[in-house]
Structure 1
């Protein structure tokens, strides 16, 4: 059996790695000279910047992968004593309680909202077709919880709008809890004191991970752009630009598309027009990432935790800010603090497209106000744009998932964040499971 994997982001790399471990022949094609996709780490003088994901949230598959790649000594754990996250409300930052029970004891919500939360136990479960995240939380907890907790959290994870994202595609475990226990709070009772999964980084940036995987692969082909997929007599052939290795003459038993939705759609227009049409409809959130540094003595607000989220009701410029140097101090000079701010997302896409100078100035002004910064100018600023940062699990994604599932019978698979989930650990887990599925479906030897 031979498998073609198209796209060397974290999903394609991880899939190739796991297939190689299982002894399945593969060829991994990447149109760029560099692997990693949205994982991008750069060094700008004394500053180590993450232009994509700012950290990794550990799960079993990721931990195992880091061990196998011998990256354990590269792991950097947060320097901050807490993993607290904050939300801005009424012009001040409030620490988010780690559990519903603590939320009821905290002063973050008005007593009327807390009373509504306590009544959730009494509400019967409902089956609402294509229920959005906002609809679910408003139905069970009230609008205030949507505005000041759900909306900023969804913006932080997905760059998304809870009014549009489907609950079953974003937080399916909550829907399952409601079905099983009749109450979300009741179902979560046994999990109240489970600690949050730790976040980590790597010494030379997160791009260390895709580079380490790539170094182990025996059939990785960079600067190879796959232009078309052909299917004939149950086999797949690829049209490849700059095919110096003659790989276009090879037959493949299976093809895995590990590309962003729109790139995948263009590639599949001829082979599977139905899936291609659905992929063209997938919505992406634009995001502009801004790194800003100040001297420590200029900051009047305590910085200890992961960062802060900004509800839309507060009319912020950025959707949130990670306190990057609070987590990983060595990424900037010792006497400075580095913030990473996120501008845009699907709720405010127009902000992501403002001119560079305006974005940099408005981020500086917002940070100055929020953190009582006395400096007139930052010590350092850097901007990077993602025109299509994160796929949105809205009403259009359902058709994509259904069609992708049906095409697996033809040995055509998808392995990417629009099917696996937004996080790097999600993609690694999905790649491992898909590798095992492909291995189990290989033809048996006579």
Structure 2
């Protein structure tokens, strides 16, 4: 049960534990996957919380659209399992809803000179691959001999250039980063945007060696989704929560005598509530507005975090009109190819129930840097351009798609560049004030990273709660 009634039932059932043991209230603002996960973990620990969501739905960017018999993912298409995420899914009893990605569809492609080339996945395929010249292959293999280095403020582009060479950055890293973040790899910090690369370099002395060793140990997990789409996870968490408040817009936050005062607007009714801890589970620009007067320094730093736009286009064709077999995960489109899209995921090849059996579904991404030429955005022209590019790339004979759908994220993914460093440092210090951040601009953009950070914050709050109870 959600809302005030649920809160009363919860308080009646647990009044003794909350009053005598915990004696703490936590306000969480934002019901994306981070806020939902944190509320779930706090609830399991018996800590009183209120989760406020301005909209009528949960999940944030983790959204699935069911339309005309199709399943469209507006946010992430797949997830990579980690221990925390697996435990959460098990506790929610969602194991039977998991839809794993089959190994045969895990092959990636990259567009080069107008042709699709498979990205090498093993030494044999690397040596026989026509994507790289002999000189390129030699340079890549030399990566194992490159000594590790700690470079201050090293960008993703600089990292790949240092370890592999420019060409490899252009053909593989750039479109990958563009598709994930909608931004420029020459600006993104590698230790923030892709910390796993630095971890491999530090642990094994080489990215390639680290990948080989982890594959031998079975560290790399397969991607997966859910039968009814990615919204399954946030909705399942929401169904377990007893203090989730939808359509509750927090308009102002103040701090008086060590307490946070939350001013909330619910259908025109205004209310103020007092809390011991505050968790911002919001995009940076939204969080900045709420703490402008309470924490002006952090607010200013948050306003500097950039969120480029990104367009997600779902295109459906009759399978008989598509010349390419589409046996794989999808394809990356480097800038050098002068492609309009950053790449496409071959959704119907990953999961069979996303469209009708005689159709194929392609999910294409247009990152912020490529959208800059579309101002104002012309939806019809954008869809036509995507269809034209898909037709040329995948030998599609259809004059028009069976169906197309466009979703524009005006503020897609936070950019982990130099500006975000200040915000991270300030946020860490303010934990002493009882202010915590549970958001992808702090924890990382992946769902597993957000779940892991939510669990960490819940543990910190619980530790402080127990310490307070002992002291009192």
Q: Give the SS at the match of 2:158.
A: helix
- Bigger Cα displacement from structure 2, 397-406 vs 62-71: 62-71
Distance 1:245 1:428, change over 3 A: farther
After TM superposition, list the pairs within 5 Å mapping 1:31-50 onto structure 2. 31-50=54-73
Alignment partner of 1:199 is 2:223: yes
- The answer to whether the 8 Å contact 1:343/1:351 transfers is no
Matched-pair contact (CA < 8 Å) for 1:343–1:352? no
User: Which one is further off, 109-118 or 409-418?
Assistant: 109-118
Please say which of residues 109-118 and 238-247 is displaced more in the overlay.
Answer: 238-247
Give ranges in structure 1 of 5+ residues lacking alignment.
none
Distance of aligned partners of 1:421 and 1:78 in 2 relative to their CA distance in 1, 3 Å threshold:
same
Aligned residue in 1 for 2:12: none
Maintained 8 Å contact 1:80/1:304? no
8 Å Cα contact 1:2/1:24 also seen in 2: yes
Of residues 192-201 and 428-437 in structure 1, the stretch that sits farther from structure 2 once superposed is: 192-201
The 5 Å alignment of 1:54-73 reads 54-73=77-96
Match of 2:276 among 245, 249, 253: 253
The match for 1:444 is 469
- Asked whether the equivalents of residues 247 and 267 of structure 2 are also in contact (C-alpha less than 8 Å), the reply is no
Deviates more, 1:115-124 or 1:386-395: 115-124
Per the alignment, residue 20 of structure 2 pairs with: none
- 1:303 — aligned with what? 326
Render the CA deviation track for 1:64-100: whole Å, top value 9, x for unaligned: 1111111112222235733111111111111112257
Structure 2 counterparts to residues 2-151 of structure 1, below 5 A = 2-78=25-101, 81-99=104-122, 103-104=126-127, 106-151=129-174
Name the counterpart of 1:226.
250
Render the CA deviation track for 1:125-163: whole Å, top value 9, x for unaligned.
Answer: 333221111111111211011101111221232222110
Residue 403 of structure 1, CA deviation: 0.5
Q: Secondary structure at the match of 1:282?
A: coil
Q: What secondary structure, in the 3-state scheme, does the structure 2 residue paired with 1:53 have?
A: coil
In 1, distance between residues paired with 2:423 and 2:204? Answer: 30
Shift of 1:58: 1.8
CA distance in 1: counterparts of 2:269 and 2:123, whole angstroms: 58
Report runs of 4+ in structure 1 exceeding 6 Å deviation.
243-246
Q: Runs of 5+ in structure 2 lacking a partner?
A: 1-23
Conserved? CA contact 2:179–2:367, under 8 Å = no
Q: Distance in 2 between matches of 1:23 and 1:86?
A: 48
3-state SS of 1:390 partner: coil
1:373 matched to 2:396? The reply is yes
Q: How many angstroms apart in 2 are the aligned matches of 1:203 and 1:289?
A: 21
CA RMSD of aligned residues (A): 2.0
TM value normalised by structure 2 = 0.90
Judging changes above 3 Å, is the alpha-carbon distance between structure 1 residues 316 and 410 closer, same or farther for their aligned structure 2 residues?
A: same
393-402 or 109-118: bigger deviation: 109-118
Contact 2:172 2:332 in 1 (8 A): no
Shift of 1:344: 2.3
2:305 maps to 1:282:
yes
Q: In structure 1, how many angstroms separate the alpha carbons of the residues matched to 2:375 and 2:111?
A: 21
- How far apart, CA to CA, are the structure 1 residues paired with 2:334 and 2:362? 18
**Which of 159, 168, 172 is the aligned partner of 2:195?**
172
Q: 1:429 to 1:367 in 2, by over 3 A?
A: same
Question: TM (normalized to structure 1)?
Answer: 0.95
Q: More displaced, 234-243 or 212-221?
A: 234-243
Q: Structure 1 residue 212: deviation in Å?
A: 1.0
